[in-house]
Amino acid sequence: MSEHILWAESAEEPAPQTDATLQGVVDVAVIGGGYTGLSTALFAAQAGMAVHLVEAEEIGFGGSGRNVGLVNAGLWLPPGQLIKALGPEYGPGFVRLFGEGPAQVFDLIEKHQIRCEARREGTIHAAHSPKGLEDLRTRAEAWEKLGAPVSLISAEDTAALSGTQAYCGGLLDRRAGTVNPMGYARGLARAALGAGARITCGARVTGLRRDNGLWQVQTGKGALAARQVVLATNAYADGLWPGLTQSWTEINFFQIATAPLGPEAAAILPKGQGLWDTATIMTSLRRDAAGRIILGAMGRLHGDRTGGLSAAWARRRLRRLFPDLQIPAFEGAWDGRIAMTQDYLPRLCRLEDGVWAPMGYNGRGITTGTLFGRALAEVLRGAPESSLPLPVTTPQPQPLTGLRRTALGAVFSANQAFRSVL
């Protein structure tokens, strides 16, 4: 299998120059160059702290350079369930903050002039069935009660906005939008460097131990000492902190991108919204600035952009959604890992005194990583922990995560096989 990650090639922001020498003592060592790590580094550096971010591969190598690019408000759970799950102390504030999440992301993009194809036309959560539509109705009512610019749209309006008759309605969230996800990650890195943070890529952290009151961060390219550490490795965590990866179930999500399309595809998402559906095995659909269609679904990439099961799935899906479209060539095919928690809530964990680990974003990381990084930077410089959007916890190992990952992977692959012929 060979991946072609569209965003790495199409992002207008270049990969930043990130070869700072690893040495000395810093206030904060950030491990992981995705949204969480980059946002932490940006805001901590802006606050005058000495920050060094260390990334094993390159900026955006993890979920941040591979995702769909839907800048969504809220989380997987609807607001009422979130408030219930988080309780009166954290629930209402969390829902308010995450409702405003896209605005914070788009403000940052504007402030730092991040070139990431940002469009704020909203997103469509499309109902794949009448039951899906009922779920969306409940979600829409809950957000409307909170005054959010969210509305349930008819099957006709969904067809006009998406270009397909496949859905029986949808929820249009005008707070949301789309970005080129790698462009956003690289732009955050540029902003963090501009604020004085140091970044080193291609340096996997292999050891983290406390010595004389400082955390020693060991890599193949040298070491540094830090007063505090943010382990921002999320679903791409390796064995650096034993047991961490048992606190969520890893699932995969793959995407296929067509070649740029012209007038023949003008009716497909003509206003530029990103779309995902209510199916249990969720699929996504969006356009990019060059006019490509990008399709995605839960599961691993099988094959590559030229052939194999995933390309067959994408051809079949395009035919079902847009029967008049001549099936184009595919330019991109890739997948990524998502950390799913059992209750669909993210976590802000403290692993030990001075070591933080935000994680488990359940596929909602553009806003979550940005907001968590910002909030964590405040706490790193001395704000009380009670200012964080969630209570601080420790990682709780979930039973049978390996088995669940294998079982879900098998179900997703079977679905791809089934849907590529049906």
Ligand X SMILES: Cc1cc2nc3c(=O)[nH]c(=O)nc-3n(C[C@H](O)[C@H](O)[C@H](O)COP(=O)(O)OP(=O)(O)OC[C@H]3O[C@@H](n4cnc5c(N)ncnc54)[C@H](O)[C@@H]3O)c2cc1C
Minimum distance between the CB of residue 368 and ligand X, rounded to whole angstroms?
A: 6
Determine the longest span between alpha carbons in the chain, in angstroms: 68
Q: Smallest distance from the beta carbon of 70 to ligand X, in angstroms?
A: 3
CB of 79 to ligand X, least distance (A): 17
Cα(400)–Cα(243) distance, rounded to whole angstroms? 13
Judged by beta carbon, residue 127 or residue 376, the one nearer ligand X is 376
Residue (55 or 277) nearer to ligand X, CB: 55
Give whichever of 73 and 159 is closer to ligand X, judged by the CB atom: 73
Nearer to ligand X, 155 or 216 (CB): 216
Cα separation, 166 vs 322, in Å, equals 9
Question: Closest residue to ligand X, Cβ-based?
Answer: 365
Nearer to ligand X, 81 or 234 (CB): 234
Least spacing, CB of residue 263 vs ligand X, in Å? 27
Residues that bind ligand X (CB under 6 A): 31-37, 54-57, 61-64, 66-70, 72, 204-205, 232-238, 240, 253, 336-338, 361, 363-367, 369
Q: How far is the CB of 358 from ligand X (least distance, A)?
A: 7
Q: What are the counts of helices (DSSP H) followed by strands (DSSP E) for the chain?
A: 10, 18
Distance CA 23, CA 226 (A): 10
Residue 43 tokens read as 């805001």
Structure tokens at 154: 């008819």
Which residue blocks in 47-177 are alpha helix, DSSP H? 79-99, 101-111, 130-145, 155-162
CB of 131 to ligand X, least distance (A): 23
C-beta closer to ligand X: residue 248 or 361: 361
Q: Are strands 355-359 and 214-219 parallel, antiparallel or unpaired?
A: unpaired
Count Cβ neighbours within 10 Å for each residue of 205-221 and write b for 16 or more, e otherwise: beebeeeeebbbbbbee
- Least distance from C-beta 417 to ligand X, angstroms? 20
Nearer CB in complex with ligand X: 36/420: 36
Amino acid residing at 286: R
Alpha carbons 123 and 180: distance in angstroms, whole number: 14
- Whether 5 and 15 have beta carbons less than 8 Å apart is answered as no
Distance, in Å, from the CA atom of 295 to the CA atom of 253, rounded to the nearest integer, reads: 11
CA distances to 248, 276, 282, 285, 325 from 343, rounded to whole Å, are 10, 21, 18, 26, 40
CB of residue 130 vs ligand X: minimum separation in angstroms? Answer: 25
Q: Which is nearer to ligand X, 169 or 360 (CB)?
A: 360
> Which residues have C-beta within 8 Å of that of residue 141, sequence separation ≥ 6?
none
